[in-house]
């Protein structure tokens, strides 16, 4: 089995939650791993890798 993958010219380690999923599930309270430059809001509170969401205070009912 070939497990190699091609890299695109604009490779990134950021993944985006599709807007349709956010709209279907409702607004999230927290996204601790939001993109640096989000295409749309993913939650009320959004931490990106500069904020280091793993060390931030997590709260709310619906966590992304």
Return the pLDDT at 50: 94
- 44 domain residue, yes or no: yes
Predicted TM-score of the model (pTM): 0.69
Average pLDDT of the segment spanning 19-28: 91
Mean pLDDT for the chain overall: 82
| Domain count of the fold of the chain | 1
User: CB of 7 within 8 A of CB of 1?
Assistant: no
Tens of pLDDT, residues 1-21: 666 656 666 677 787 888 999
Note down the domain range covering 33: 27-53
b/e per residue, 30-40, with b = 16+ CB within 10 A? bbbbbbeeeee
Give start and end residues of each alpha helix (H) in the chain: 19-25
In a domain, 37, yes or no: yes
Residue 47's pLDDT band (cuts 50, 70, 90): very high
* CA atoms within 13 A of residue 21's CA, in its CB half-sphere: 7
**Is 39 within the bounds of a domain?**
yes
pLDDT at residue 58 is higher than 80: yes
Q: Is residue 33 part of a domain?
A: yes
């Amino acid at each position: 089995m070939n497990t190699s993958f091609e890299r695109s010219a604009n490779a990134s380690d950021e993944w985006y939650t599709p807007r349709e999923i956010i709209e279907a599930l409702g607004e999230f309270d927290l996204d601790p791993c939001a993109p640096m430059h989000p295409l749309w809001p993913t939650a009320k509170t959004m931490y990106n890798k500069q904020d280091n969401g793993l060390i931030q205070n997590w709260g709310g009912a619906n966590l992304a």
